Structure 1
Amino acid sequence: MDRIDRHLLSALQIDSSRSLADLAEEVGTSTSGCQRRIKSLEAAGLIMGFSARLDPQRLGLKLQAFVEITLNSQSREAMDRFEQAVEDFDDILECHLMAGSADYILRIAAHDLEQFDRIHRDCLSRLPGVSSMRSSFAIRTIKRWRGYPTR
């Protein structure tokens, strides 16, 4: 991966809807060269796909919750059951296996506390092998995720 590839990855993370000609001009290559580089980065697994970043506030998702999960057991079977169950619930936006006091951290978005209560009752409480849950709520987002550093 050279300087142009890194610049291209940064530019795509900012706005992947830009035209190839615009991207090529920014990174200093031809349009066909830019397209070849993007295809190569996709084939190498560096680019996993393209998507739109949505504004949760405009979607009415005013509550962001982070839920720390501790399991009864850290056996492979218990973790596999938990992770499979997480995949079945669209209300769980992200799930991270952690090192530290919690086994997992989940990210949930909801319209309000009433909807979070429904998600808690209908989704989180059904996750297998959970011994404890601790929820924290974001008051305000200070810095939004803008992509990975490519340096």
Structure 2
Amino acid sequence: MLDNTDKRLLAELQQNAHLTAQELGERLNLSPSQAGRRRQRLETEGYIRSYAARLNPRKVGLTVQAFVQVQMSTHGPEESRQFARLVELRPEVISGWTLTGEADYLLRVYCEDLAALNRLIHEILLPHPAVARVQSQIVMDQFKQDAPLPC
């Protein structure tokens, strides 16, 4: 179970994963060793999955963000595994979800330009034998950035 100090520690790390045990201790009113042990326990128990840098998509040449809904024509386990494998191999697909409702999958993608998005849809996704329909929504503006999880 997480206590309030653990929740505050997780919130601090989501804002800045580079915080040292000393800095965490100061923010949480703990000794550096206590803060370090708590962080290590939260890592070991799987509360913290990894640490990563958030890149600016435009700075790295990714000017188009889109959400792509995929509807399958068949729903067998093998087709699902093949589609999931296809998605895992595509670097432009940064996250994916299975859904209830009309669409079976929702993919979040970043592409260099519209031509790259078009190639992904028409040359990669639609040719998959189990895919029936693909619908994309191009992001015009992201007015709220990806936020930390509430703790």
CA distance in structure 2 between the partners assigned to 1:83 and 1:145 by the alignment: 24
Contact 2:93 2:108 in 1 (8 A): yes
> Which deviates more, 74-83 or 11-20?
74-83
CA contact (8 A) 2:69 2:134 kept: yes
Query: Kindly tell me: are residues 127 and 29 of structure 1, through their superposed partners in 2, closer, same or farther at Cα, counting changes over 3 Å?
Result: farther
Cα distance in structure 1, aligned partners of 2:97 and 2:37? 33
Q: Is the 8 A contact 2:63 2:113 kept in 1?
A: yes
Query: What is the distance in 2 between the residues matched to 1:123 and 1:14?
Result: 36
When the two structures are aligned, how many residues end up with a matched partner? 150
Structure 2 residue runs without a partner (length 5+) = none
Structure 1 pair 45–128 and aligned structure 2 pair: CA distance change class (3 A):
farther
Offset of residue 125 of structure 1: 3.3
Cα drift, residue 16 of structure 1:
0.3
State the 1:57 CA deviation.
2.0
> Could you say which residue in structure 2 is the equivalent of 1:51?
52
Query: Which amino acid letter does the alignment assign opposite residue 147 of structure 1?
Result: P
Amino acid in the other structure paired with 1:123: I
**1:135 alignment counterpart:** 136
Q: Deviations over 1:13-54 (max 9, x none)?
A: 011012221111111211111111111101111100101111
The structural deviation recorded for 1:99 is: 1.0
- Structure 1 window deviating more from structure 2 (45-54 vs 127-136): it is 127-136
TM-score scaled to structure 1, two decimals?
0.92
* C-alpha RMSD of the superposition: 1.4
Q: Does residue 76 of structure 2 align to residue 75 of structure 1?
A: yes
- Give the TM-score normalised by the residue count of structure 2: 0.92
Structure 1: unaligned runs, 5 residues or longer: none
